[in-house]
Amino acid sequence: MYSRQMKHVLQELAAAAAWLLFGGYLAAIWRLSSGYLAAIWRLSGCYLAAIWRLSGCYLAAIWLLSGGYRAAIWRLSGCYLAAIWLLFGCYVAAVLLLIGYYLAAIWRLFGGCLAAVWLLFCCCLAAILLLFGCYLAAI
Domain boundaries, given as residue ranges, for the chain: 1-56, 70-139
Angle at 138 between CA 135 and CA 139, to 5 degrees: 90
The stretch 14-37 carries a mean pLDDT of 62
Query: What Cα–Cα distance (Å) separates residue 35 from each residue in 12, 13, 28?
Result: 12, 14, 10
Cα gap 33→80, rounded to integer Å: 28
Calculate Rg over the CA atoms of the chain.
22
What is the per-residue pLDDT across 26-85, written as a single tens digit (0 to 9) for each?
666 666 566 666 666 666 666 666 666 666 666 666 666 666 666 666 665 656 656 666
Task: Tell whether the model's pLDDT for residue 112 goes beyond 60.
Answer: no
Q: Say how many CA atoms lie within 13 Å of 74 toward its Cβ.
A: 22
| Distance separating alpha carbons of residues 46 and 104, to the nearest angstrom | 36
CA dist., res. 31 & res. 13, Å (int): 9
Give the pLDDT band (50/70/90) at residue 123: low
pLDDT classification of 7: cutoffs 50, 70, 90: confident
Closest CA to 29 of 41, 21, 39: 39
